[in-house]
Amino acid sequence: MQAPRKINKILIANRGEIAVRVIRGCRDMGIRSVAVFSEADRRSPHVRLADEAYPIGPAAAAESYLVIDNIIEAARVSGADAVHPGYGFLAENAGFASACAEAGLIFIGPAPETITLLGDKLQARALAMRSGLPVVPAIESALDDVTAMQKEAEKIGYPVLVKAAAGGGGKGMRIAHSGADLSEALAAAKREAEAAFGDPRVFIEKYIERPRHIEIQIFGDAHGHVVHLFERECSIQRRHQKVIEEAPSPFVTPRLREEMGAAAVAIGKQANYLGAGTVEFLVNSEGSFYFLEVNTRLQVEHPVTEMITGIDLVREQIRVAEGSRLSFAQEDLKINGWAILLVPIFSEKTFEDPSIIEPLERLKAYGQEDHVRRYGPDYVDRLREAGFTVKITKVSDLANSEEAVEMGLTPASGEIYYCTKQLGS
């Protein structure tokens, strides 16, 4: 355990709402805040609100917010003694946590080893089983032979869910309802996992139809204490993306809450968890729950938990990062009221949209080649269903080619992909 250290200045390695949230927490605690910004965010609210602000690169996140050396240098120049990663970007990057430690900075989050352990779904699943948590039946071995994988999938029963071993956020996931679907589901999940996380590994688990998605907020300190701050219900989703978060869950009974909370604390203790984290579960209609994954960071929806418990999670993150004990015990926590958060407005093109249908019909009529940006996870599958051969290429692979220029894509386009569509044979 590290010796306690007083934090006097925190660099927030993020932007937007979470950066503003952490800056507000710093102000309440009398801690100076340091913002970082890309060229595009120079006039953003978090830059204006922080005590100091430093540029870290061009507009593209890959050249600014994701460049560890730039952020460490900003911390050095500013004299910050701690870094808060927020959520997204480098928040669950073990290499970033290690770089902070090597630079003598306090990383406000779990240890690098914990991030590595829990960030890999297969390792986290194994830890959950050692902790006595129920898990969804799965095929964990990496089988490249599709036929062998189909045989294994039949043992656990269809439908099955192909999932990326790394990352999260609903990326790298495909449902297969039969052996005939599995080959394409595996290929699509691997492509998306490689693109999103740089890791094509996937595994297969039994798909639970119409489950409840319940997550438990946990918190740990460096003195071996881990507690839970009850649940958040996030069952209403769009393409595996959470739409509504509420707490407490209208489905969870006091007994189920106690059982799930104890399970979340158990895996937290096994992982020597420090700071704020979220253990996610799937719950069937009978109330049986199964471990899903652990998010080793503060969640976007953390204010829901703050509202019903009265606990300032950012303040507590900073306290335990300094080496202090949790300011509350499990028996001190009570649910007070009900809160709801995270109701985004979705703006997307559907497959029925004329702007998509017309190019498809034109291609069918003339057999021409066309280029379009990808509008959603289902788009490539829909194109194939329409009779087209689809090739997906990373924008970064195009560099500054004439093809990229013609399509209006630049390196700043980040994770955007394009499809080369031609008439199927």
Catalytic residue positions, numbered: 297
What is the C-alpha separation between 155 and 140, in angstroms, rounded? Answer: 13
Whether the CA torsion 326, 329, 330, 332 is positive or negative: it is: negative
Tokens representing 96? 């970033």
**Residue pair 41/61 in contact by the 8 Å Cβ criterion:** no
Determine whether 145 is exposed, middle or buried from the number of CB atoms within 10 Å of its CB (0-12, 13-18, 19+). exposed
| Backbone torsion region of residue 17, taken as left when φ is above 0, otherwise alpha when ψ lies between -120 and 50, otherwise beta | alpha
Bridge partners, 139 (sequence order): 204
What is the DSSP track for 241-275? EE--EEES-SS--HHHHHHHHHHHHHHHHHTT--E
**Residue pair 191/380 in contact by the 8 Å Cβ criterion:** no
Closest among 223, 337, 235, 332 to 272, alpha carbons compared:
223
Closest among 244, 248, 211 to 231, alpha carbons compared:
248
Tokens representing 21? 């949230």
- What are the phi and psi torsion angles at 183 (to 5°)? -60, -50
Kindly give, in sequence order, each residue whose CB lies less than 8 Å from that of residue 36, ignoring residues fewer than 6 positions away. 11, 12, 13, 15, 53, 54, 55, 56, 64, 65, 70, 71, 74
Element (H, E) at 66: none
What is the C-alpha separation between 307 and 302, in angstroms, rounded? Answer: 9
Kindly give, in sequence order, each residue whose CB lies less than 8 Å from that of residue 133, ignoring residues fewer than 6 positions away. 263, 266, 267, 291
Determine whether 390 is exposed, middle or buried from the number of CB atoms within 10 Å of its CB (0-12, 13-18, 19+). middle
Tokens representing 52? 């100091």
From residue 251, alpha-carbon distances to 113, 214, 246, 259 in Å are 35, 9, 11, 14
